[in-house]
Amino acid sequence: MKQLFLVFAFLLPYTPASAQKVVFSKNIDSLIHQYISAHDLPSAAVGVVYKDSILYGKRIIREYTQGIYATNGQKSIYNIASVAKPFVATAILLLAQEGKLNIKSPVVNYLPYFDIDSRFKNKITIEHLLTHTSGLPNTSTPDDYQYLKVDTTDNALANHIKSLSTIKLKFKPGKRYDYSNVGYEILGQIIAEVSHMSFDEYMNVHLFRPLQMSRTSYLLSKFAKNEIAPPHTGHPNKITSKFPYNRAFSPSGNLFTSIDDLNKWMIFNLNNGKYKQYAPLSEPFFKLLTTPKASTGEGDLIGLSWFLKNKLVFHDGLDLGYSALMLFYKKQKIGITVLINHQGANCNELLNLIAKSIKF
């Protein structure tokens, strides 16, 4: 669930206002299959959206018979790791718009039991968490994301946040950017406390269900085993011995979904927070998501969860056995999502190949 440094070649040519049609110069099924075969990857799910139209949405598997290697049926659910963070940021803004919280306010206003080993703990705001400028470390303990202490109970997230008293800040809140998964886990608990719902229930009721994302959940139990793309690592690749699932870490990246559902999420983001008739955020609140707030120190800027580079908006993700990348160009209203069930995959490389095949 660590944010990766990326260099994008995805800079599409200027699109005239009158342009109505987008086409692919290559067969995308074949392009993806050639790529995953050449790089020893088990599968890839790819989505391409233009304005409010889905141009492409398939899962391509490496092994195939009789020329068929596209399937959106079995094993089409992926863990999207940190690509899930913009969902959390959007939920926070929904609550802010309702007046239930203020992103400029300290975390302790909403979580009175929030405690860390720092005299600055009362200075950490919700906005600091959203922009990774809180000073909190990436994880609460070194082995957290090796899933050695798995907790799948309903109280997993709350118990996790209440156990942070020994962690120390790396710097004074607001001083600079430093990626923090634990910050988003705290945000998830704020959502639960303020809404008086469980974190996963709030996300389902206020985002997934209205966006018709019926194949999306923080609960692994929702899916049958044969629906999930198994996590892989190494070359030659092999299925990981441990599965990346712990409800304590749900807000920072344990979200399971399909490329079909992420195409709907892409439409929402390309169209100023609107999907069909669902438009829960006012324009000022929605724009906060992609308004620059800080520099990452690596050539990128960050808004409220989304990273910004050369007019691109993106978030990538890496977890045990999974890699993911979601990227869109606001001006041209086109976006691409790549999901691969292999920890060592380069989603950016495949995304660029697809981007180069797009013609206006």
Indicate the domain borders of the chain.
23-324+349-359
Question: How far is 228 from 220, CA to CA, in rounded Å?
Answer: 9
Per-residue pLDDT of the chain (360 residues; tens, 9 = 90+): 333 334 444 445 544 444 467 888 889 999 999 999 999 999 999 999 999 999 999 999 887 433 444 455 567 999 999 999 999 999 999 999 999 999 999 999 999 999 999 999 999 999 999 999 999 998 765 555 555 567 889 999 999 999 999 999 999 999 999 999 999 999 999 999 999 999 999 999 999 999 999 999 999 999 999 999 999 998 877 888 778 889 999 999 999 999 999 999 999 999 999 999 999 999 999 999 999 999 999 889 999 999 999 889 999 999 989 999 999 998 899 999 999 999 999 999 999 999 999 987
What pTM was computed for the model?
0.93
CATH number of 23-324+349-359: 3.40.710.10
How many whole angstroms separate alpha carbon 258 and alpha carbon 45?
Answer: 8
State how far the Cα of 338 lies from the Cα of 154, in Å rounded to an integer: 31
Please provide residue 302's backbone torsions phi and psi, each rounded to the nearest 5 degrees: -130, 135
Distance CA 293, CA 285 (A): 14
Backbone CA torsion sign across 27, 30, 36, 37: negative
- Phi (first) and psi of residue 163, to 5 degrees: -110, 20
Residues 6+ apart with CB under 8 A from 251: 84, 85, 88, 157, 184, 185, 187, 188, 189, 191, 199
- Alpha-carbon radius of gyration of the chain: 20
Query: Six-digit token pair at 181?
Result: 């998964």
Cα–Cα dist 152/76, whole Å: 22
Check if the beta carbon of residue 48 is closer than 8 Å to that of residue 335.
yes
Alpha-carbon span 218 to 235, nearest angstrom: 29
> Which secondary-structure segment (H or E) carries 7?
none
DSSP-derived secondary structure for 147-197: TSS---STTHHHHHHTT-TT---SS-TTS-----HHHHHHHHHHHHHHHTS
283: left (phi over 0), alpha (psi -120 to 50) or beta: alpha
Q: Where are the alpha helices (DSSP H) in 153-310?
A: 156-161, 181-195, 199-203, 250-253, 259-270, 283-288
Please enumerate in sequence order all residues whose Cβ is within 8 A of that of 25, keeping only pairs 6 or more positions apart, or say none: 357, 358, 359
